[in-house]
């Protein structure tokens, strides 16, 4: 069984490749504080269907290149234009 994760596309500048961040929260083993961390995955998107800000489902695959070990299953939700424009407007 291959691992499946849901994350947010943070970069769509490459052809057929996307950078996806998968966030997780957990309690610190010693201090008990809730800690946030993220995993960066480079995924294969054959049709270039996903774009920055989209929430996507990915599945583990064989190594496709030096960094790519995941494939796009589906786009869960599309990003709105406000979500992608907000970081640029804050400068």
Distance between CA atoms of residues 13 and 33, nearest Å: 36
Domains belonging to the chain, first-starting first, are 4-86 (2.40.50.140)
> Which ranges in 1-91 belong to alpha helices (H)?
81-89
pLDDT digits (tens, 9 = 90+) for 4-29: 999 999 999 999 999 999 999 999 99
State pLDDT tens for residues 35-85. 999 999 999 999 999 999 999 999 999 999 999 999 999 999 998 876 655
Q: Output the pTM of the full model.
A: 0.80
Bridge partners for 19 per DSSP: 11, 42
Q: State residue 14 phi and psi, 5-degree precision.
A: -90, 155
CA-atom Rg of the chain in angstroms: 15
Q: What angle do CA 56, 24, 15 make, to 5 degrees?
A: 35
């Amino acid at each position: 069984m291959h691992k499946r994760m849901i994350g947010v596309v943070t970069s769509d500048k490459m052809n057929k490749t996307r950078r996806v961040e998968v966030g997780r929260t957990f309690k610190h083993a010693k201090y008990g504080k809730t800690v946030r961390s993220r995993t960066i995955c480079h995924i294969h998107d054959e049709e270039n269907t996903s774009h920055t800000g989209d929430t996507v489902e990915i599945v583990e695959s064989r190594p496709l290149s030096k960094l790519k070990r995941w494939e796009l299953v589906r786009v869960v939700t599309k990003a709105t234009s406000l979500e992608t424009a907000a970081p640029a407007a804050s400068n």
